[in-house]
Amino acid sequence: MSSLLVDNIGELVTNGVGEGPLGIRRRAAVLIEAGRMAWVGPAAYAPAADRRIDAGGAAVLPGFVDSHAHLVFAGDRAAEFAARMAGERYTGGGIRTTVGATRAASDDDLRATVRRLRGEALRQGTTTMEIKSGYGLTVADEARSLRIAAETSTETTFLGAHVVPAEYADRPDDYVGLVCGPMLAAAAPHAKWIDVFCERGAFDVDHARAILACGQAAGLGVRVHANQLGPGPGVQLGVELGAASVDHCTHLSDDDVAALAGTASDDGPGTRTVATLLPGAEFSTRSPYPDARRLLDAGVTVALATDCNPGTSYTSSMPFCVALAVREMGMTPAEAVWAATAGGARALRRDDVGVLTAGARADLVVLDAPSYLHLAYRPGVPLIRQVLLNGVPQ
């Protein structure tokens, strides 16, 4: 079995045992065998290996875990973005524009977009990326969206309940029946998760509950787009259903925060339901950012993700989200880096990624910087020198 040593690491973020909340180890080395972390320790005691990468004193982190992205779509909405920057408000109405373009696209066009964005993210250090459907909204288009997503990720999410498509506008009950019936049946073989956009103008709490419960009965895990555009029932619905994550969390009441805090787990710190914050969406809709500090102070586990989509957040960059979270959302650099790695893993209920401890997947990034701090300190700078996916240099 061939082994690979990453040596001469100035600052290793393990998210395990070590200094501070990031489990930092200095002057470290890691040994990789069969795509896994086989050994982590001081560089001075590094074992022999078949191959060696010299990190040159730089920082090494777990690859980013982007737990929320909408990559299967066609077209872009640059004009809608420009209109917002000129003062227009985001309402979610543009989703239907992308639905039209997506339905008209060929499989190969959709596949090319997914691969392009996944490649873009990888070059920025993302080693695990969730991918949602949600721009097809017919049985065939949702099924093919997930089939294509599953070619690129095991973390696939059925979002047939993104909005009610135009042809069902005056009979939303019928659309919910379609989502829970034939659409779910066609989507479930390619999906691990189910998600609903629970928001005024999308799905109300009764429809959202019905759809998520059907998905759960079909064996899918629950996640919710909740409390993005205004206060609402989404977060508490997610908690009620044992969601792995409630995403956006921009407008929270004290009861919402308490409900999340109430999911504190017995098997370690943090909460069973993660609050996933998506600052790219607030950036691109020029909206107030969610209050990460309030969630963290209440003991809620927080993740950061890109929400990469053509409407509200056309970025695939986790370093950009880390920088926004630090500057705009009250997070320390350490909290933001944890949320973008271990937090994302928790939001996907994964314990093999987001950490660099013995036994974990060897998904890691070597920075062009001496410390993780530089991700927020040097915003917009391409600091990802090298990415290893499953132990393989990319």
- Residue 15 vs 157, nearer CB to ligand NIG: 157
Dihedral of the alpha carbons of 170, 173, 177, 183, in degrees to the nearest 10: 40
Smallest gap, in angstroms, from Cβ of residue 97 to ligand NIG? 8
Rg (CA), the chain: 20
The alpha helices in 249-372, defined as continuous H runs, are 254-261, 279-285, 292-297, 318-328, 333-338, 344-347
Q: How many CB atoms lie within 10 A of CB 326?
A: 23
Q: With CB under 6 A as the rule, give the number of residues binding ligand NIG.
A: 13
Smallest gap, in angstroms, from Cβ of residue 248 to Fe ion? 7
Residue 157's binding partner among ligand NIG, Fe ion, none (Cβ under 5 to 8 angstroms by kind) is: none
**Residue in 346, 380, 373, 369 with CA at minimum distance from that of residue 273:** 346
**Residue in 393, 394, 389 with CA at minimum distance from that of residue 361:** 389
197 is an interface residue for ligand NIG by CB under 6 A: yes
Residue 268 tokens, joined: 């370690």
Q: CA-to-CA distance for 80 and 184, rounded, in angstroms?
A: 31
Residue 256's binding partner among Fe ion, ligand NIG, none (Cβ under 5 to 8 angstroms by kind) is: none
Q: Which of residues 301-330 bind ligand NIG (CB under 6 A)?
A: 307, 309-312
Residue 197's binding partner among Fe ion, ligand NIG, none (Cβ under 5 to 8 angstroms by kind) is: ligand NIG
Q: Which residue is nearest to Fe ion (CB)?
A: 307
- Residue 141 vs 307, nearer CB to Fe ion: 307
* Environment class of 109 (CB within 10 Å of its CB; exposed 0-12, middle 13-18, buried 19+): middle
Smallest gap, in angstroms, from Cβ of residue 230 to Fe ion? 16
Residue 237 tokens, joined: 């619905």
284 is an interface residue for ligand NIG by CB under 6 A: no
DSSP β-ladder status, 3-13 and 51-54? parallel
- Residue 157 vs 236, nearer CB to Fe ion: 157
- Residue 130 vs 307, nearer CB to Fe ion: 307
Letters for 300-319 (x = contact with Fe ion by CB under 5 A, - = none) are -------x------------
Letters for 79-98 (x = contact with ligand NIG by CB under 6 A, - = none) are -------------x-xx--x
Residue 354's binding partner among Fe ion, ligand NIG, none (Cβ under 5 to 8 angstroms by kind) is: none
**Residue in 290, 301, 90, 117 with CA at minimum distance from that of residue 199:** 90
| Numbers of helices and strands, H then E, in the chain | 15, 17
Smallest gap, in angstroms, from Cβ of residue 308 to Fe ion? 9
Amino acid sitting at position 271:
T
Q: Cβ distance 372 to 333 under 8 Å?
A: yes
281 is an interface residue for ligand NIG by CB under 6 A: yes
Select from 225, 272, 350, 361 the one that contacts ligand NIG (CB under 6 A): 225
- Residue 160 vs 310, nearer CB to ligand NIG: 310
The string over 69-105, giving b where at least 16 C-beta atoms fall within 10 Å of a residue's C-beta and e elsewhere, is bbbbbbbebeebbeebeeeeebebebbbbbbebbeeb
Residue 271, strand partner residues: 264
155 is an interface residue for Fe ion by CB under 5 A: no
- Residue 290 vs 311, nearer CB to ligand NIG: 311
195 is an interface residue for Fe ion by CB under 5 A: no
Smallest gap, in angstroms, from Cβ of residue 92 to ligand NIG? 6
Residue 95's binding partner among ligand NIG, Fe ion, none (Cβ under 5 to 8 angstroms by kind) is: ligand NIG
Residue 124's binding partner among ligand NIG, Fe ion, none (Cβ under 5 to 8 angstroms by kind) is: none
Which residues are near ligand NIG by CB under 6 A? Answer: 92, 94-95, 98, 197, 225, 228, 281, 307, 309-312
